[in-house]
Amino acid sequence: MANNEPKKGGILRAYLNVNVLYKILIGLVIGAVAGIILAAKGVTALPAWISMFGTIFTRLLKMIIIPIIVGSLVVGASSVSPANVGRVGIRVVIIYLATSACGVIIGLVMGNIFQPHAELAAVTQLAADAAGKTASTNVWEVIYSIVPTSVLQSLVNETVLQVIFFSLVFGLCLSFMKVSEDERIRTISTTMYNVFDCLAEIMMKIVAGIMQYAPIGVAVLICEVFAKNGAKVAGALLTVTIACFLGYLIHIVAVYGGLLAIFRIKLGAFFKEARTPFITAFVTRSSNGTLPTTFAAAENLGVDKEVYAFSLPLGATINMDGTAIYQGVCAFFLVMSTQGRGLTMGEMGMIVLLATLASIGTAGVPGAGAIMLAMVMQGIDLPIEAGTTLAGAYAMILGIDAILDMGRTALNVTGDLTCTCCIAKKLGFLKADSVLK
């Protein structure tokens, strides 16, 4: 007995010790190779008991969407102190949201130009029904429908935008209550904050657990895709990768270059300092994990600590331009591959809104953008349900998520630094002459 136990633990520990990024890539390769072999043998479907492992994975992803939005958004919104919501806060939030919206638009443009898609077999009934539903959506209705009439109903029906709206309102009220002069209000609101903080932490733990399971789920889902469609889908993933990275590059040059020029900050001096956080983010795939180097870069650029100590952690949570570009390209890929059509104008508008708002509620940790993508698809009435073509297409994206995540995290962090410098410059909090034109 005593001899057997460490051995079992050893295998599990060895598995857990391997970087999730490599495991998912290995899962992708194993699934793809197995699928191609099956396709060559004329086997187009997996036995139900194997298919179940993929189904479990998609169900796990769906399971966490709503609690993760509620937990992280309430905590995010209530962490902003009312004193900072004024002069600096509002400007920082506006520039963060505006650049994220530009990111989604660039992503959608890339999607339209590259038209990344895989010719996947069989559009499921569910997806076809959903396509009918989205076509009838009217823009004004989309806007006023953000305000829920019943919060419980929004939670039960998983209406993403309504849940985001209510969580933000709830969190903002909580942030004011936490600094109330009335001790009773301060105490109960701090308790409430702790409950949501705990919920958000639990969700992050669950996400970490799901990511450990992801290689198995991805392998099975990818195997199904390749068995059904053969090797021809690999080119589509390459197109998605090229479209995303080109989008990242355009965003750096056009949006960040443009902002720095408008605010008269020297590009060379800025990018010299931004290089370290850029590389750190690329390697760690976490905006939060990169914060110490982003702080150092802001300090070296001469930004006042009062501004960057508030704006950079906020940016690591709410400003995700790279993630926004990725959402645009991937949403295009998912719809085109499963519905046999591009995105409608209504859907694109909805994706800009959803991806921008969803970035507020997503922590800067590896792989968070992929969960957001599931949220965005739910928001355009194309939920990633087990057993659908959409789940297979989503698994394809997830298989290359690590590569896409490196680029988008590097961009997310550069965006936080760019916006911070611009706002600091505007409000007179940027001192170093070396970066000022």
Q: Which residues contact 357 (CB under 8 A, 6 or more apart)?
A: 161, 164
Greatest distance between any 2 Cα atoms in the chain: 73
Partners of residue 430 on adjacent β-strands: 303
Query: Taking the CA of residue 318 as centre, how many other CA atoms within 13 Å lie in the half-sphere pointing to its CB?
Result: 26
DSSP 182-234: SHHHHHHHHHHHHHHHHHHHHHHHHHHHHHHHHHHHHHHHHHHHHHHHGGGGH
Residue 148 to residue 303: CA distance in whole angstroms: 40
Which CB atom, from 74 or from 330, has the smaller least distance to ligand ASP? 330
The rounded Cα 399 to chain-centroid distance in angstroms is: 15
365 binding ligand ASP? (CB under 6 A): yes
Which CB atom, from 231 or from 296, has the smaller least distance to ligand ASP? 296
Which CB atom, from 177 or from 200, has the smaller least distance to ligand ASP? 200
> Among 66, 320, 334, 400, which residue interacts with ligand ASP (rule: CB under 6 A)?
320
> Among 405, 416, 417, 430, which residue interacts with ligand ASP (rule: CB under 6 A)?
405
317 binding ligand ASP? (CB under 6 A): no
Near ligand ASP by CB under 6 A, which window of 235-243, 335-343, 359-367, 387-395? 359-367
368 binding ligand ASP? (CB under 6 A): yes
Q: Which residues contact 132 (CB under 8 A, 6 or more apart)?
A: none
In angstroms, how far is the first alpha carbon of the chain from the final one? 72
> Among 107, 313, 366, 379, which residue interacts with ligand ASP (rule: CB under 6 A)?
366
Which CB atom, from 116 or from 364, has the smaller least distance to ligand ASP? 364
Which CB atom, from 287 or from 337, has the smaller least distance to ligand ASP? 287
99 binding ligand ASP? (CB under 6 A): no
> Among 178, 251, 408, 425, which residue interacts with ligand ASP (rule: CB under 6 A)?
408
323 binding ligand ASP? (CB under 6 A): yes
285 binding ligand ASP? (CB under 6 A): yes
251 binding ligand ASP? (CB under 6 A): no
Handedness of CA 423, 429, 434, 436 (dihedral sign): positive
Least Å from the CB of residue 367 to ligand ASP = 5
416 binding ligand ASP? (CB under 6 A): no
- CA-to-CA separations, 212 to 150, 283, 357, in angstroms, rounded: 36, 19, 27
Token pair, residue 245, equals 């990275």
Which CB atom, from 277 or from 392, has the smaller least distance to ligand ASP? 277
Owner of token pair 């950079």 = 312
> Among 89, 313, 328, 369, which residue interacts with ligand ASP (rule: CB under 6 A)?
369
Least Å from the CB of residue 355 to ligand ASP = 11
Site mask, ligand ASP, residues 264-283, x = CB under 6 A? --------------------
Residue 255 to residue 158: CA distance in whole angstroms: 34
Near ligand ASP by CB under 6 A, which window of 58-66, 187-195, 339-347, 365-373? 365-373
DSSP 226-280: HHHHGGGGHHHHHHHHHHHHHHHHHIIIIIIHHHHHHTTB-HHHHHHHHHHHHHH
The rounded Cα 41 to chain-centroid distance in angstroms is: 38
356 binding ligand ASP? (CB under 6 A): no
State the number of binding residues for ligand ASP (CB under 6 A): 15
367 binding ligand ASP? (CB under 6 A): yes
407 binding ligand ASP? (CB under 6 A): no
Least Å from the CB of residue 375 to ligand ASP = 12
Which CB atom, from 171 or from 415, has the smaller least distance to ligand ASP? 415
Which position's Cβ is nearest ligand ASP? 369
- CA-to-CA separations, 290 to 59, 225, 287, in angstroms, rounded: 31, 35, 5
Nearest to 318 by CA among 419, 222, 205: 419
Residue 214 to residue 226: CA distance in whole angstroms: 18
312 binding ligand ASP? (CB under 6 A): no
> Among 72, 287, 337, 338, which residue interacts with ligand ASP (rule: CB under 6 A)?
287
Q: Are 375 and 64 a contacting pair, CB within 8 Å?
A: no
Q: Which residues bind ligand ASP (CB under 6 A)?
A: 285-287, 320, 323, 364-369, 405, 408-409, 412
